[in-house]
Amino acid sequence: MKRRQHGFTLIEILVALFVFALVALISGQLLSRTLSAQSQLQDRGERLALVHRAMQIVQRDLLQLTNRPIRNSDDFEQLGSLLINTDGFLEMTRMGWRNPLRHRRSEMQRVSYRLEDEKLIRGYWHTLDRGYDAEPAFQTMLEDVKRVEFYVLDTQGEEHKFWPLQRQNEKALDPVAIILRIEIAPFGVVERIWQVPGANLSGGRENANVPL
């Protein structure tokens, strides 16, 4: 008697192909999602590193804030050691400008921060007192920035969007800290606070000898 030969039927082959295709589809989707998640984590990590670097530079400047007003080129108008307004603008005089080549210049430096075209921009001048041709150099600290706000926290615990204070009969107050609130993608609002060094930077009208 001849041995019967058994094989796969067409339906069995189609079912097997369908199972293999389904497994391949699920595996491809899992691999795609894993690669996408890894890419997002890498991008977020790089973004976080940029934010951390920018905050370190801001901290370095603010922790070296010093009481040194400057003279502007406009009729020698004096500008205060610390200026803040509601447009996310801060300008200040800082110490500790490194001079490894020992150039004949001050170790104090005038720096500023502002929001421009959704970028946090740091400006710095090569001289303290500005001539008519004094232009700052700029560097981009962060991109994709939605909002920047600087505040001064005074000795009474009140926050001020403007510094120096401009109200008449304002009692002279010293800033004890500077607050930065910045809205950046994808982290949302980030807030940092730095204690101001012990220099007297009074914002009231009573300090007439050093207008700030």
Q: Give the mean pLDDT of 56-72.
A: 90
Contact of 22 with 14, CB cutoff 8 Å: no
Q: Which of 114-118, 127-131, 143-147, 206-210 has the lowest mean pLDDT?
A: 206-210
Q: Is residue 4 part of a domain?
A: no
- Domains: count for the chain: 1
pTM over 0.85: no
Q: E-assigned strands of 72-211? A: 78-79, 82-85, 89-94, 109-116, 119-124, 137-143, 145-154, 159-160, 175-184, 188-195
Spatial distance between the Cα atoms of 142 and 189, rounded to a whole number of angstroms: 14
In a domain, 107, yes or no: yes
Q: Is residue 3 part of a domain?
A: no
Which residues, 6+ apart, have CB-to-CB distance to 125 below 8 Å?
109, 110, 111, 134, 136, 137
Q: 1 in a domain, yes or no?
A: no
Ranking 65-69, 86-90, 163-167 by mean pLDDT, the lowest is 163-167
Q: Residue 117 has which token pair?
A: 């075209």
pLDDT in tens, 145-154: 999 999 999 8
The torsion angles phi and psi of 86, rounded to 5 degrees, stand at -80, -5
- d(C-alpha 20, C-alpha 13), whole Å: 11
CATH number, residue 27: 3.10.610.10
Residue 5: inside a domain: no
pLDDT at 166: 67
Integer CA distances (angstroms), 173 to 66, 79, 179, 180, in order: 16, 18, 16, 20
pLDDT recorded at residue 211: 30
Please report how many Cα atoms fall inside a 13 Å half-sphere around the Cα of residue 160, on the Cβ side. Answer: 25
Exposure string over 131-148, b if 16+ CB within 10 A, otherwise e: eeeeeeeeeebbeebeeb
Boundaries of domain holding 192: 10-212
What lies within 8 Å, CB to CB, of 160 at 6+ separation is: 84, 151, 152, 153, 154, 203
Let me know if residue 2 belongs to a domain.
no
- List Cα–Cα distances, 84 to 92, 127, 130, 155, in angstroms: 9, 20, 19, 17
The answer as to whether 122 is a domain residue is yes
